[in-house]
Amino acid sequence: MKIYHLLFGFICLIMSSCNHKGQVSHDTPFNITGEIANVEDGYMIILVKRTTGSSTDMIAIDTLINGSFSFSAAAEDNVSYHLVTPHVGVFSSMSVDIYAEPGADIKVKGDGYLIKDWRVESKVKNQKIYQSYQDLVAPMLHQMQEMELEYRRIGKDMEYLRAKDPLDKEVTDITAAWLKDQKKVSAPWLDLMYRYANAAFQLKDKELQKKITAIWSDIDPETRESKKGKIISVLLSPAGPTLNIGDTLPMNTRMYDIDGNVHTFNEFKGKTMLLYFGSYGCKPCVAAKKELGELASDNESLEIIGLNLDGESAWRSKGKSNPVKWHDFNELKGSYGLSSRFETPGIPTFVIASPEGKILEIWTGYSDGIINERLNGIKR
């Protein structure tokens, strides 16, 4: 018996993917191998990952040789993976959606340039759940890809966006039915719920919003309180209508400081308010801090209210280690809170409001001296 245990321990030692329960170690990478027929060699295939939100990070690039490509990467929690190609027009602009876990052996098989038609095969449970959805919408997605390549070929890309509307609606209806029929919340379910809640928010599609909200209303509190769940709830409860110059700030907007205290704009009535929407990862936002600091020190009739759009943990951590001279608040809604009501194209976004809360100026972007220039402009 002792020999057996020693032998088992030695095997586990030399196989780094084995732990004391015989499970795969979290550090073991997953592997993707692709076999694609009837596609010329030399095209790039890119593996990207997506966390909560729409931004993606590239993990690796491989080149198709003899119809094959491969990737190996560490599996991360709460991350979806996707295969894309930069050769849009040759391939369709869609992606292959992949769910991974440590040690997973994932095979991608396809035939031709319609990348969404490529099929993912693995033992990963979430992949099988997602495939049950993918099989339902595959016929419509196939048609959309064919249409896209044809419209691109004749140089009518924008017309394709209109032409595919009926297929988009069909996919949306099938998706809503699939989301409603699922008995348990899974990673694919949550990803699709987020995707369609975001679409309803961005497109201001009230019909889609109503449909998705009806499904979300039955979800358990634990899912609602997850990182992605909180964002979905915000997306399905928009901050309000667009705000323009001449409108009044929503004075009861709830904002949190680093210590968790709640504030509203009502506290700052009687002084001109300068709202600054930014992020620690935004270079123009960082560049604006010098001028903001000088204004905060020298102007007693001005209240500078910073509304950080970063996630809660990053904001609190960086806020404590890099304190500023103005009010450093966060709605904890990311870019889906008050900032979304100004419909500006990016950050930093600045808003000047009168002591009564009337919006006097809105702009996006920073250059040296622009804040002083805009403040002086409203005094004339």
Please report, for the domain that includes residue 53, its CATH number.
2.60.40
Q: Is the pLDDT at 379 greater than 90, yes or no?
A: no
Q: In which band, very low, low, confident or very high, does the pLDDT at 287 lie, cut at 50, 70 and 90? A: very high
Please check the confidence at residue 14 and state whether its pLDDT lies above 80: no
Whether residues 183 and 206 share a domain: the answer is: yes
Residue ending a domain, among 186, 206, 238, is 238
The pLDDT of residue 9 is above 60: no
Q: What is the average pLDDT across 80-94?
A: 94
In this structure, is residue 360 part of a structural domain?
yes
Question: CA-CA distance, 93 to 234, in Å (whole number)?
Answer: 29
For residues 62 and 147, membership in a common domain is answered with: no
Residues 216 and 292 in one domain: no
Whether residue 21 has pLDDT greater than 80: no
Identity of residue 148: E
Yes or no: say if 150 and 159 are a contact pair by the CB < 8 Å rule. Answer: no
Whether 278 and 370 map to the same domain: the answer is: yes
Do 317 and 260 have their domain in common?
Answer: yes
pLDDT confidence of residue 24 = 57
**313 versus 292: which is more confidently predicted?**
292
The pLDDT of residue 256 is above 80:
yes
234 and 305 part of one domain: no
> Would you say 52 and 76 are in contact if contact means Cβ atoms under 8 Å apart?
no
91 or 202: whose pLDDT is higher? 91
Name the pairing type of β-strands 359-364 and 349-353: antiparallel
Cα(166)–Cα(169) distance, rounded to whole angstroms? Answer: 5
Question: 358 pLDDT exceeds 90?
Answer: yes
In a domain? residue 163: yes
Res. 212: pLDDT tops 80: yes
pLDDT beyond 50 at 343: yes
Can you give the pLDDT at residue 20? Answer: 42
Give residue 90's pLDDT.
95
Position 356 scores a pLDDT of: 96
pLDDT number for residue 148: 96
Q: Does position 6 have pLDDT exceeding 90, yes or no?
A: no
CATH number of the domain bearing residue 306:
3.40.30.10
For 356, the domain range is 255-379
pLDDT number for residue 175: 96
Instruction: Give yes or no for residue 265 having a pLDDT over 80.
Output: yes
pLDDT number for residue 23: 55
Q: pLDDT exceeding 90 applies to what percent of the chain?
A: 73
- Please check whether residue 12 lies inside any domain of the structure: yes
Q: How many CB atoms lie within 10 A of CB 207?
A: 10
Q: Please give the pLDDT value at position 16.
A: 34
Q: Are 345 and 364 in the same domain?
A: yes
Q: How far is CA 253 from CA 161, 236, 256, 279, 359, in A?
A: 37, 17, 10, 19, 15
Looking at the structure, do residues 259 and 219 belong to the same domain, yes or no? Answer: no
CA distance 329 to 227: 19
Query: What is the value of pTM for the model shown?
Result: 0.72
Is 184 inside any structural domain?
yes
Q: Which residue has the tokens 């987020």?
A: 194
Domain count, the chain: 3
Is 250 a domain residue?
Answer: no
Q: Is residue 244 in a domain?
A: no
Q: Using the predicted structure, report yes or no on whether residue 19 has a pLDDT greater than 90.
A: no
206 domain residue, yes or no:
yes
Does 302 share its domain with 214? no
Same domain, 106 and 165: no
Question: Does residue 173 carry a pLDDT above 50?
Answer: yes
**3-state secondary structure string, the chain?**
CHHHHHHHHHHHHHCCCECCCCCECCCCCEEEEEEEECCCCCCEEEEEEECCCCCEEEEEEEECECCEEEEEECCCCCCEEEEECCCECCECCCCEEECCCCCCEEEEEEECCCHHHCEEECCCHHHHHHHHHHHHHHHHHHHHHHHHHHHHHCCCHHHHHHHCHHHHHHHHHHHHHHHHHCCCCCHHHHHHHHHHHHHHHHHCCHHHHHHHHHHHCCCCHHHHCCHHHHHHHHHCCCCCCCCCCCCECCCCCCEECCCCCEECHHHHCCCEEEEEEECCCCHHHHHHHHHHHHHHHHCCCEEEEEEECCCHHHHHHHHHHCCCCCEEEECCCHHHCHHHHHCCCCCCEEEEECCCCEEEEEEECCCCCHHHHHHHHHHC
pLDDT tens digit string along 303-320? 999 999 988 888 999 999
* Average of per-residue pLDDT values in the chain: 89
Are residue 232 and residue 316 in the same domain, yes or no? no
Q: Kindly state whether residue 248 falls inside one of the protein's structural domains.
A: no
Total length of the chain: 380
Most confident of 14-18, 155-159, 342-346: 155-159
Average pLDDT over residues 153-173: 93
**Residue 298: exposure state from Cβ atoms within 10 A (0-12, 13-18, ≥19):** exposed
pLDDT recorded at residue 43? 97
Whether residue 7 has pLDDT greater than 90: no
215 and 263 within one domain: no
